[in-house]
Chain A
Amino acid sequence: MVRRDELWVRGALAEARSSQGQAVARGREIVARDRIDDGDVATRLRRECDAEMERLRAATQSLSDARVRGVVTATADGVESTVTITIDGVSVVTTPDDAAADCDGLRRLLRPPAAPPPTRPLPIVWRNGSAAVLLHEAIGHAAEHAHRPLEWPQWLRARDVARDGRVADLIEGQAPAALRRESFRDVPLRRMTSLHFEQNGAPFELPSERIEIFLVSGGTYEPLSESVSIDVAVADHVSGRKSQRISPFTVHGLRTYISRALIGATGDPVRYPGVICSREGQELYVASHAPVMLTAGLR
């Protein structure tokens, strides 16, 4: 693999990292080194990586009000390119193709909170594809850990699609098909690649009082207790026609509770701008898509 990693702060380059290496597996042994034996492969990967980083820079150079981190990784399987854009401490993770639009979307969403989160649980409408993060934790990680499948609503479909097209039905408890690693130094792990949550004939009735979530800053799945935590970065408290931006907050729930709390969905899946998934210290980009979804109140 060959990687380029750059951090731009308000239009100026702050950090730049380049690395390369290979890992050769023999049984349970992995021999990793920062040289690529095959000179032709090394030259090709460097060329692909540098070309993609040029494209990434061009796609993000206008984002001079943001903190922009671009990471390009070229491997024998192809080139992966991610852009993390942060404004006022709130981030989206996207691709060069979507960077400008997602940055515009982030700017539109940012405004100071006007109220604390409501103290009593309210129904939650997960907009902007953000339900993909909730279900990434509650369904995706549970499948990675081979935890027993739960009864999710009949209208819900949850698939992980590997880069080579292999599909895992996560609701059936199938583990993600791909073995992925962050760097050549890391042990490959069975990890999610591209999540697609879909609804088919789900009920959906918008509660008059609700929380609407647009962006999350993080999520965790605790495998020992099978519980999920979602850190919400941007959300509104809606009551009738009144809408107030509320301060960041965290929702928790056992995945069994979340499976019962999922009470509706509408529309086609929306690409959520950003999931960097960390497990065993390895951070990987996971593409995520979900329709607008409705859950009962989560604390």
Chain B
Amino acid sequence: MNELYRKWGKSVRREGEHVVFVDEAGEAAESESVFRTRSLDDAFDLPAPVSDGVEAAAREIESLVDRPLVIERLFASEGVVAHQFGEVRWRENTRRVHVSIARPPLRAIFDFAEFRFDALRRALPALTRASKERKPPKKIRVAEHVGAALLPLTAIAKLQSTAPHDGKGGAIREQLAEHDPPNWFRPSYRVRPRKAWFHLRVLPFGTIEDDVPEAVALLAPVSRGEIRVLCVDGRSAYATSLPLRPILAARPTATWYPFGAGAFGVELML
């Protein structure tokens, strides 16, 4: 096995107060035993990024955050990338946002692949008025962006969605995500590719009870054991931790989120 992958990218990101423009190209060569990467001194005709989009996204987030909330971390990026694996070439445009907003000792974390912040508008008022930790409710529904983060760890039937290229240029076909994934995930040319399920989604089942308390934000990264969330129950809001219970109902959405090799939004009831 001798494989050669090349990647050219230009991006701009707003990180805190800084605006960072990155222009780079690299190559990954993989043989049976050794994975090698190197920078490519090789220009490629990609449009130069402009910072207007990420600056506007950052300003919009900043406008949503008032005391006692503080922005602890803010990354907003967009870029264009060209890939080549063997003779297969493809391009993609990316947008990513990672933001953590704190009201000590609570921290709400959000990841998006679009510059749309409806989830922040819903969650931040709850974070502002959140009271101390409570036991989890008997049933809880989770907002679509929280559900997308949970998808890779939930034991329900999931589908891989169709997309033109994986990390080795192969087609990504729709199929049930069970057993070993057939496609390769390569988040960077510097990282050895690994098998992963892409663009996970679930089919709707059950009935989400709209009067059940709702988890509107993650308060910690998702782990296999439990999730820690900001829960809204009527007028009250509080932090709670709960184990990953069986899923009682699911209502998928069309918004894609950058968790793992991708997951679509889904409201879940646990």
Asked if B36 is at the interface (CB within 8 A of a chain A CB), the reply is: yes
Residues of A within 8 A of B33 (CB): 12-14
Asked if A200 is at the interface (CB within 8 A of a chain B CB), the reply is: no
Residues of B within 8 A of A12 (CB): 33
Contact-residue size bin, chain A (C-beta under 8 Å from the other chain): 20 to 34
Chain B positions 1-41 with a Cβ under 8 Å from a chain A Cβ: 15-26, 33-41
- Given the known A-B contacts A187-B16, A280-B73, are A19 and B21 also in contact in the complex, defined by CB atoms under 8 Å? no
B34/A225 in contact, CB under 8 A: no
- Given the known A-B contacts A15-B36, A30-B20, are A224 and B102 also in contact in the complex, defined by CB atoms under 8 Å? yes
B18/A224 in contact, CB under 8 A: no
Most buried by B among A15, A19, A185: A15
The answer for the CA separation of A155 and B36 in the assembled complex, in Å, is: 50
Asked if B194 is at the interface (CB within 8 A of a chain A CB), the reply is: no
Residues of A within 8 A of B245 (CB): none
Q: Which listed residue (B18, B35, B51) contacts A187, Cβ 8 A?
A: B18
The answer for the CA separation of A280 and B39 in the assembled complex, in Å, is: 23
Asked if A28 is at the interface (CB within 8 A of a chain B CB), the reply is: yes
Residues of B within 8 A of A14 (CB): 33-35
Residues of A within 8 A of B25 (CB): 34
Nearest-CB residue, chain A, relative to B23 = A33
Over the window 185-210 of chain A, the binary record of Cβ atoms lying under 8 Å from chain B Cβ atoms (1 yes, 0 no) is: 10100000000000000000000000
B19/A185 in contact, CB under 8 A: no
The answer for the CA separation of A31 and B49 in the assembled complex, in Å, is: 11
Over the window 69-83 of chain B, the binary record of Cβ atoms lying under 8 Å from chain A Cβ atoms (1 yes, 0 no) is: 000110000000000
How far does the Cβ of B140 sit from chain A's closest Cβ, in whole Å? 24
Residues of A within 8 A of B192 (CB): 15
Q: Which of B104-112, B125-133, B227-235 contacts A (4 or more CB under 8 A)?
A: B104-112
The answer for the CA separation of A20 and B22 in the assembled complex, in Å, is: 13
Chain B positions 58-99 with a Cβ under 8 Å from a chain A Cβ: 72-73
Residues of A within 8 A of B22 (CB): 32-33, 185
Asked if A241 is at the interface (CB within 8 A of a chain B CB), the reply is: no
How far does the Cβ of A258 sit from chain B's closest Cβ, in whole Å? 17
Asked if A17 is at the interface (CB within 8 A of a chain B CB), the reply is: yes
The answer for the CA separation of A34 and B41 in the assembled complex, in Å, is: 8
A15/B41 in contact, CB under 8 A: no
- Given the known A-B contacts A13-B34, A224-B107, are A28 and B17 also in contact in the complex, defined by CB atoms under 8 Å? yes
Residues of A within 8 A of B24 (CB): 21, 32-34, 185
How far does the Cβ of B184 sit from chain A's closest Cβ, in whole Å? 17
How far does the Cβ of A46 sit from chain B's closest Cβ, in whole Å? 11
Asked if A164 is at the interface (CB within 8 A of a chain B CB), the reply is: no
The answer for the CA separation of A44 and B16 in the assembled complex, in Å, is: 33
Residues of A within 8 A of B104 (CB): 224-225
Residues of A within 8 A of B73 (CB): 280
Residues of A within 8 A of B18 (CB): 28-30, 187
The answer for the CA separation of A20 and B192 in the assembled complex, in Å, is: 19
Q: Which listed residue (B19, B21, B39, B105) contacts A21, Cβ 8 A?
A: B39
Residues of A within 8 A of B195 (CB): none
- Given the known A-B contacts A12-B33, A224-B104, are A185 and B39 also in contact in the complex, defined by CB atoms under 8 Å? no
Asked if A166 is at the interface (CB within 8 A of a chain B CB), the reply is: no
Can you name 22 A-B pairs with beta carbons within 8 Å? Answer: A12-B33, A13-B33, A14-B34, A14-B35, A15-B35, A19-B26, A19-B38, A21-B24, A28-B17, A29-B20, A29-B21, A29-B51, A30-B19, A30-B21, A35-B39, A35-B41, A185-B20, A187-B18, A223-B72, A224-B72, A224-B105, A224-B106
A residues sitting closer than 8 Å to B (CB atoms) are 12-21, 28-35, 185, 187, 223-225, 280
Closest 7 A/B residue pairs (Cβ) = A34-B24, A33-B23, A34-B39, A224-B104, A225-B105, A17-B37, A30-B20
* Known contacts A19-B190, A187-B16, then 20 further A-B pairs from the complex at CB < 8 Å, ordered by chain A residue: A14-B33, A14-B35, A15-B34, A17-B37, A17-B38, A17-B190, A20-B39, A29-B19, A30-B21, A33-B22, A34-B23, A34-B24, A34-B39, A34-B41, A35-B41, A185-B20, A185-B22, A223-B72, A224-B72, A224-B106
B residues sitting closer than 8 Å to A (CB atoms) are 15-26, 33-41, 51, 72-73, 102, 104-107, 190, 192
